[in-house]
Amino acid sequence: MTYGAEFKPTPEEGRVLEQLRAAPAPVADPAFRERLRRDFIAGEFPERPVLVPLPRRRRYRARWVVGFAAAATVVIVAAALNQAPRWTALPSAGSGTVVVNGVSFPVTNTSELTRRLLPGSRVVLQSSQDLDLVSSGLLAMQLSPGTEMVLPSPPGRWFGRASRASVERGLLRVTTGRRFGGARLAIRTPEATVHVTGTTLAVIAESTGTSVCVLEGVTHVRPHRGSMTRVHPGSTCEVARGTATSRMREMREAERPKLLDLRDRLQAVMN
């Protein structure tokens, strides 16, 4: 058969066509006709089979996208709730500046300092008085004039509870708050690393070495090339520059009243 031209059957096709024309018209089965007539009069017809379409793949894809979005939302909310209060600079009676990552600000400009004092910032205090920093409920620090340090990240509420700081030179006093329990703070000096788990202490980085004075709680001090030392309340651990050993002695008397004041005053602020 050829499309687009006049139909000319072959001899074989002609014989088939003649047989179809000569065949009698098909006659419906009498029983079928009678059953069809009864159904038509009664208005009852057999139900047609219902085809249930298979779910399309894009429905599964949509469910996956919705599930992923819900999981991402949970992660974002959990991260937001876990975030610790940021560092807040408290008013200082001193004069001078605070250098944050190389930029100087007046020590009296507490709002700008609070905005600039982010975890990991390098801070140098060039003031006539101490500077107090607080992360509400967690941690409070006091920098003495001349101190150079790197700020730690306040520990999170549920995860990310370990943080690190460093003191290149100067004196840093630390007291922990009621929400610090279970967290850890590591303070590195040129001679040692001080491990804080809940205490009030002073970390002093001098030209001769590092001294750690503990007012309350227990602190661990590890010289960079030595073993860990447990420092109890009322004691000072000293690590001389260039050595790998530590030496214990009574707490420096000059630090006791300053640490007591820090604890009593800033614990009230944190709570």
Task: Give, for all 271 residues of the chain, the pLDDT tens digit.
Answer: 455 456 677 777 777 677 777 777 666 677 767 776 776 666 665 555 556 565 566 666 666 666 666 665 554 554 444 566 899 999 998 999 999 999 999 999 999 999 999 999 999 999 999 999 999 889 999 999 999 999 999 887 665 678 999 999 999 999 999 889 889 999 999 999 999 999 999 999 999 999 999 999 999 999 998 999 999 999 999 999 999 999 999 999 999 999 999 999 987 777 6
Q: Are strands 162-176 and 184-188 parallel, antiparallel or unpaired?
A: parallel
CATH code, domain with 173: 2.60.120.1440
pLDDT for 31: 75
Residue 192 lies in a domain: yes
Under 8 Å between Cβ of 164 and 130: no
Strand partners, 215: none
Nearest to 255 by CA among 223, 220, 216: 216
Q: In the structure encoding, which two tokens stand for residue 165, read together? A: 């700081």
Give dist(CA 183, CA 173) in Å, integer. Answer: 18
Q: What domain count does the chain have?
A: 1
Residue 86 lies in a domain: yes
pTM value is 0.70
Residue 244 lies in a domain: yes
Residue 63 lies in a domain: no
Q: In the structure encoding, which two tokens stand for residue 204, read together? A: 């002093």
pLDDT for 10: 78
Residue 43 lies in a domain: no
Give dist(CA 205, CA 212) in Å, integer. Answer: 9
Give dist(CA 120, CA 122) in Å, integer. Answer: 6
pLDDT for 160: 63
Element (H, E) at 212: strand 209-223
pLDDT for 80: 47
pLDDT for 269: 75
The whole domain housing 164 covers: 82-270
Residue 200 lies in a domain: yes
Residue 58 lies in a domain: no
Give dist(CA 200, CA 176) in Å, integer. Answer: 7
Residue 124 lies in a domain: yes
pLDDT for 78: 47
